[in-house]
Chain A
Amino acid sequence: MNTPVMLMLSDPVLYIGLGRGLLLTLQISVMSIALSFVFGTIIGSMRYSGLPVLSQIATTYIEFIRNLPTLLLILVSYFVLGLPAMWAATIGLTIYTSAIIAEIIRGGLNSVPEGQWEAARSQGFSFLQSMRYIVLPPSVVKMIPAIVSQFVTAIKDSSFAMAIGAYELMFKGTILAAKYWKPSQIITIYVVISMVYFVINFTISMIARRLQTKLSIGRGSIGS
Chain B
Amino acid sequence: MTELIAGIGFLQEGPFAIPRWEALFSNIDVLWAGALVTLLVASLGLAMALALGTVIGVMSASHWRIPRAFARVYVEFYQNTPLLIQVFMLYNAIPLIYPGLFIPVIVIGVFGVGMYHGAYIAEVVRAGIQSIGRGQLEAALSQGFTYVGAMRFIIIPQAMRIVLPPLTNQAVNLIKNTSVIAIIAGGDLMYAGDSFAGRYGHYGPTYVVVGLLYFLMCFPLARLTRRLEDRMMAA
Contact = CB atoms under 8 A, between A and B. Distances in A.
Interface in B139-189: 172, 176-177, 179-180, 182-183
A75 interface: yes
B214 A72 contact: yes
Interface string A208-224: 00000000000000000
A70 B176 contact: yes
A interface: dominant SS: helix
Given A79-B203, A177-B92, A170 B197 contact: no
Nearest to B223: A63
B204 A80 contact: yes
B93 A163 contact: no
A87 interface: no
B207 A75 contact: yes
B96 A197 contact: no
A71 interface: yes
A36 B13 CA distance: 33
B26 interface: no
Contacts of B215: 64, 67-68
B182 A190 contact: no
Contacts of B84: 156, 159-160, 162, 170
Contacts of B218: 67-68
Interface string A158-197: 0110110000001000100100000100110010011001
Nearest to A96: B176
Contact of A170 (B85, B176, B211, B214): B85
Contacts, number: 107
Interface in B194-212: 194, 197, 203-204, 207, 210-211
Interface residues on B, range: 35 or more
Contacts of B85: 159, 170, 190, 193-194, 197
A76 interface: yes
Interface stretch (A2-10, A50-58, A132-140, A198-206): A198-206
B74 interface: no
Contacts of A186: 92-93, 96
A149 B177 CA distance: 16
Contacts of B190: 69, 71-72, 75
Contact of A67 (B76, B194, B222): B222
Given A186-B92, A187-B93, A160 B180 contact: yes
B179 A76 contact: no
B92 A190 contact: yes
Contacts of A187: 89, 93, 96-97
Contacts of B197: 79
Given A80-B203, A162-B183, A170 B92 contact: no
Contacts of B82: 156-157, 159, 170, 197
A23 B15 CA distance: 33
A183 B97 contact: yes
Interface in B39-75: none
5 contacts: A67-B218, A69-B214, A75-B194, A159-B84, A198-B81
- For the complex of A and B, the 9 pairs showing the least CB-CB separation, nearest first, are A183-B96, A67-B218, A201-B80, A156-B82, A69-B179, A79-B203, A69-B176, A159-B82, A159-B84
Given A174-B88, A190-B93, A198-B81, 4 more contacts: A149-B79, A156-B81, A159-B85, A197-B81
